[in-house]
Structure 1
Amino acid sequence: MYFWKSICLLALIASIQATQVKKCPKNSARKLEANEVTISNCPKNKCTLKRNTKVSIEMKVIPTRDFKELNNDISGILLDVPLPFPGIYGTSACPHIYDAAGENMVGCPLKANETYTYKNSFDILPIYPTVTLEIHCALGDGQGDAACFQIPARIK
């Protein structure tokens, strides 16, 4: 009985820490599960990103093809208009690619069907307006994405 209670408690803790993610529209990257994405201060329903803080992100990446290079495509979508996050949008994601366990940095290239972990952090700048928006997070190259998800968020 104690064993099953422990299992249920661990599952509950994991579900609280996981961020509910949505598949990116018009994107061929595989859908990420909630347990494959962790964003600091982001409960399951909606992220609240506080200005003048740093947000960390960790996600599993399992590309469906080989990638020589990966770039960050992280933006806020407001009224269907993507607004790139300054300082991170368009930068190389390669320095933030780790092995599947997230322990050893491996960088690029990435091989098809191998599991990697992306770990990064970025500032929520004081100039960002207090708005409700959708966060779009993709890693890819000019031919497509290795990983992509979207989450509802609020900047405050």
Structure 2
Amino acid sequence: MSSKIIIILGIVFCVIAFCDSSKLVKVVLNKNHNGKKHHRPASNSSVDLPPCQPGLNPGNKMAPCVNMTVQQGLNGTVLNTTETEGLKIVECDKKARTIANISRIEVSGCSKYPCLFKRGDSPKIKVLFTPSQRVNQMSLNIGGIIQGKKVPFPYNDNNHCVSTVQELKTKSSTKCILNKNTTYTYEFSMPILSSYPAISLYVNYNVKQGEKNLFCFLLPVKIV
């Protein structure tokens, strides 16, 4: 009987010692180097955090959550144009000299090549360009490259500056005057005629100043 009492007293003593030590550990952990206590916010406290979704491994509770925007990008959702890097710039001809340098190309409804152009639509072409010399005239020359042969498109424009350079449109300017080493935004809605056949091709997009190439690039396109 006495041995049972000794065992019970031993168990009680261990429980008391464990509780005291756990309290001591909590006190130490809640103190910083200055002796102040850190208070962990309650689980239902209001904290301003970005929207969060389960990560790539939702079954793993230790995996960090993913921001909503990042998760959409991982799932293949097209992000806003302000968050993307634009399309890859494909030069018309590496040997051909151009007056301007292109820093960005965007096409409405297109996030990767080939761009799908629906007949009857007018996708918007947006280009950020920086001329290396003063520009006072712009003309548009577009052609399609089909099986190595260039086919001209029927909507070339010899007066293509004031209506397409956004900085000039904002000022309601009637003259084409672009300064060198200044970045401009070019926008043009290119009509895809209903009479076009459903075909894959390269669009040779060339904006010129007189006989010189201002900028020129290729767009891999599929007309549907």
If the length of structure 1 is used for normalisation, what is the TM-score?
A: 0.78
Greater Rg by CA = 2
C-alpha distance in 2 between matches for 1:98 and 1:105? 10
Instruction: Sort the Cα spacing of 1:45 and 1:31 in 2 relative to 1 into closer, same or farther, 3 A.
Output: farther
Higher relative contact order (CA 8 A, sep 6+): 1
Decide which of 38, 48, 63 is 2:116's aligned counterpart.
Answer: 48
1:79 aligns with 2:132: no
Query: Is residue 138–residue 210 contact of structure 2 (8 Å, CA) maintained in 1?
Result: no
Structure that is richer in helix per residue:
2
Structure that is richer in strand per residue:
1
Please name the residue that 2:29 is paired with: none
C-alpha distance in 1 between matches for 2:139 and 2:177? 12
C-alpha distance in 1 between matches for 2:110 and 2:170? 22
Instruction: Sort the Cα spacing of 1:63 and 1:153 in 2 relative to 1 into closer, same or farther, 3 A.
Output: same
Instruction: Sort the Cα spacing of 1:31 and 1:81 in 2 relative to 1 into closer, same or farther, 3 A.
Output: farther
Structure 1 runs of 4+ with >6 Å offset: none
Output one character per residue of 1:41-78: Cα deviation in whole Å (capped at 9) or x when no partner: 22222101110111111111211222220001222111
Please name the residue that 2:211 is paired with: 143
1:113 aligns with 2:154: no
1:28 aligns with 2:97: yes
Decide which of 191, 194, 198 is 1:130's aligned counterpart.
Answer: 198
C-alpha distance in 1 between matches for 2:101 and 2:199? 26
Secondary structure of the residue aligned to 2:122 is: strand
Q: Let me know the Cα RMSD of the aligned residues.
A: 2.7
**Structure 1 portions without partners, runs of 5+:** none
Count how many residue pairs are aligned between Structure 1 and Structure 2: 146
C-alpha distance in 1 between matches for 2:180 and 2:210? 16
Instruction: State the percentage of identical aligned residues.
Output: 24
Secondary structure of the residue aligned to 2:131 is: coil
**Structure 2 portions without partners, runs of 5+:** 1-48, 51-65, 74-78
